[in-house]
Amino acid sequence: VYEILARTVYGKRRRAEVGVDRLINEGVYKAAFPLHEGPFQLPKYGVCPEELNQRQVLYHYWARWYKWYKYQPLDHIREYFGEKIAFYFAWLFYTAWLLPAAVVGTLVFVSGVMSMGTNMPKEICKSGGSYLMCPLCNTCKAWNMSDICTMAKMGYLFDHPGTVFFSVFMSFWAVTFLEYWKRKMATLAHHWDCMDFHEEEQERPRPEFAAMAPTMEQNPVTGVKEPYFPEKTRLSRMFTGSMIIIMMLCVVMIFLVTVVMCRGIISVMMFHTGSPVLRTEAGTIANISGSIVNLGLILLMGRVYTALAEQLTKWMHRTQTQYDNAFIFKVFIFQFVNFYSSPFYVAFFKGFVGYPTNYGTLFGMRNEDCGPGGCLIELAQQLFIIMVGKQLINNIQEFIIKMKAWHQKHTLSKVLGGKASQEPRRWEKDYQLVECEGLFEEYLEMVLQFGFITIFVAAFPLAPLFALLNNWVEIRLDAHKFVCDYRRPVAERAQNIGVWFNILEALSHLSVIANLQAFLIAFTSEFLPRLLYQYKYDNELHGYVNFTLAYAPLNYTEFPLCYKAYRDNNGNYTLFYWELLAVRLGFIIAFEQHLVFFVLRAIDWIVPDVPESLELKIKRERYLAKQALAENQEALL
């Protein structure tokens, strides 16, 4: 029925006056949607399960909160909503895979808590006034290293040998999960008889494309004349769209610099209050405040760019699948930079400040140094605020949808007034529900979460645990939303989750092959410096803190103030610095790049994308089809 409605010409074909979607866009109709199969509420009197409609079955056995431990009834979802939505809920099986990652991450965190007192250098907390550190700004005063005892202990919770093990474990986890998902997709596609389905070959041109296309050309496959964009027009629009995307990415970078400067200003303000507590925790307060501001800017820019990307993508994509893929790619590229630029800055660029008399500056302000507990604890704070904060806001938005449905129902009842019948018809009840806006926001949230727990998990071992708790809630919220709050969407066929899988693979490769986790451990963590000091000097880390400090040049101030670096009195790097750099590079190349990379490539090579049993079944079906065709031809002859 929807195909007929979408293809029917109501005006001039040359003006693309075709289909019910165009009529809705022009305001002729308010909505067009398939009806639900009845109410989702269970009848008050007892009935047999066989007498329930499909919507009631999904609500009773799936969309209720106390069914949180149940598997997804994928065949029922597919039968009621279509393959595309069923594949989304099948992908949410990723939540079950988060369970081992969450358990291991929690154990790594607990091991850090238990070994914190024995493995952390004791000079920090017991030094008293022995280590007088350089001022944090040009107008600040010197401070004692013993002031940062609490932050140093917290930093050790995320920066200990267990972090290295967890980083390697998560690399294997990510690749193994994606290999499993390839096999799961193939199995479901065969089970639902959509393995050979190709959207592009069976889709009609989008009404918006048809309305804006300047010419008509013959389709080489079907032989039918269709709207067409000339190559020159398409290239010019691609160039314009690319320039706008680059401009928006530059805006994100400007906001990042703004947040960096905001942190510096807050830190100086805290230091000048004179309060010993605020002076000690100035860096922590500035980092948390900056992360909250950054989260607000991320969400704001995400909304602005999503609306902009929608306008850019409307221009020249012929089918809905091409439009969706281009839109997803544009938004993800932007959201990748939007969400991950600040953690990347803290992990790999923050802390390059120079040394006394030769500090680096940004717009007249001294470059940011890592806080008292090191850059890794700051990265953990940022990840917690951005990742968990976004999850909380998304879940609040899910509840807002319920309020929106209630408001829409209330508004319609006021419009109908006394004319409302005693028992509204099915279409009236469904019209009161919220229009289904697709799966884009749902997939985007999950994919960004997957990026956080694969790229930056070395800095925040509790990330899989928070992701697991969020997804348990997300599954039931989404189920309840589709069954109870949304108008029934038009069922669409699909053979996989589309371009989202390519994005997941890219994130996994970026984490493992590009060695981001190895760089994080090598250059942001204190693991390798402590390991090298234990090997060369003292296994118990006695004197480690003093060893990591350098004296300021004599012409800097009358007091020999310290700063954290492996430099001599003239600001030149010591021999230990170059030895440590060699160890860091060796760790990246020998350990991560070779050991992990080759094991993961072996897993990819050994595990086939299609299960052997399914492959045999497909071969058997093809053989039987050929046999049936041969017998049919023989009978005709």
| Structure-token pair, residue 159 | 């920066």
pLDDT tier at 36, thresholds 50, 70, 90: very high
pLDDT tier at 153, thresholds 50, 70, 90: confident
The Cα 366–Cα 310 span in angstroms is 40
Would the CA dihedral through 71, 75, 76, 82 be positive or negative? positive
| Structure-token pair, residue 217 | 């050309």
pLDDT tier at 315, thresholds 50, 70, 90: low
| Structure-token pair, residue 103 | 């358990």
Nearest to 230 by CA among 128, 144, 327, 315: 315
pLDDT tier at 331, thresholds 50, 70, 90: confident
The gap from C-alpha 346 to its chain's centroid, in whole angstroms, comes to 18
The pLDDT assigned to 256 comes to 81
- List, for residues 361-380, the tens digit of each pLDDT value: 766 666 677 766 667 777 88
The strand pairing partners of 358, in sequence order, are 355
The Cα 520–Cα 463 span in angstroms is 16
The answer on pLDDT for 210 being more than 60 is yes
Residue 41 CB partners (closer than 8 Å, separation 6+): 56, 59
Is the pLDDT higher at 478 or at 274? 478
Which backbone phi and psi does 18 adopt, to 5 degrees? -135, 135
The pLDDT assigned to 277 comes to 65
Residue 505 CB partners (closer than 8 Å, separation 6+): 178
Nearest to 126 by CA among 154, 142, 143, 149: 149
The pLDDT assigned to 263 comes to 76
518: phi > 0 → left, psi -120 to 50 → alpha, else beta; which?
A: alpha
The pLDDT assigned to 364 comes to 64
The strand pairing partners of 573, in sequence order, are 567
| Structure-token pair, residue 500 | 């989202």
| Whole-prediction pTM | 0.82
The Cα 458–Cα 517 span in angstroms is 7
The pLDDT assigned to 416 comes to 65
pLDDT tier at 113, thresholds 50, 70, 90: confident
E strands present in 195-255: 215-218, 225-228
The answer on pLDDT for 93 being more than 60 is yes
Q: What Cα–Cα distance (Å) separates residue 34 from each residue in 318, 407, 550, 611? A: 25, 22, 72, 36
Nearest to 338 by CA among 261, 438, 444: 444
The pLDDT assigned to 579 comes to 85
- How does 309-320 read in b/e, with b if 16+ C-beta sit within 10 Å? beebbebbbbbb
The Cα 439–Cα 582 span in angstroms is 47
Task: Please give the average per-residue pLDDT across 54-61, as a whole number.
Answer: 89
Task: Please give the average per-residue pLDDT across 490-505, as a whole number.
Answer: 88
The Cα 135–Cα 356 span in angstroms is 10
The Cα 108–Cα 77 span in angstroms is 38
Taken as a whole, the chain contains a residue count of 637
- List, for residues 271-311, the tens digit of each pLDDT value: 666 666 666 666 677 777 878 888 888 888 888 888 888 87
- List, for residues 159-183, the tens digit of each pLDDT value: 777 888 888 888 888 888 888 898 8
Place of tokens 């830190």: 267
What is the rounded radius of gyration, in angstroms, for the C-alpha atoms of the chain? 30
The pLDDT assigned to 488 comes to 92
| Mean pLDDT computed over every residue of the chain | 79
The pLDDT assigned to 604 comes to 74
pLDDT tier at 75, thresholds 50, 70, 90: very high
Task: Please give the average per-residue pLDDT across 498-513, as a whole number.
Answer: 82
Which has the minimum average pLDDT: 86-100, 272-286, 479-493, 600-614? 272-286
Task: Please give the average per-residue pLDDT across 468-481, as a whole number.
Answer: 88
The Cα 163–Cα 376 span in angstroms is 11
The Cα 286–Cα 350 span in angstroms is 14
Is the pLDDT higher at 543 or at 89? 89
The pLDDT assigned to 365 comes to 67
Nearest to 458 by CA among 523, 538, 361, 366: 523
DSSP label at residue 141: P
- List, for residues 2-14, the tens digit of each pLDDT value: 888 887 888 876 6
Q: What Cα–Cα distance (Å) separates residue 18 from each residue in 7, 21, 207, 252, 437? A: 6, 8, 7, 40, 22
Which has the minimum average pLDDT: 156-170, 202-216, 596-610? 202-216
Q: What percent of the chain has pLDDT over 90?
A: 6
Q: What percent of the chain has pLDDT over 70?
A: 83
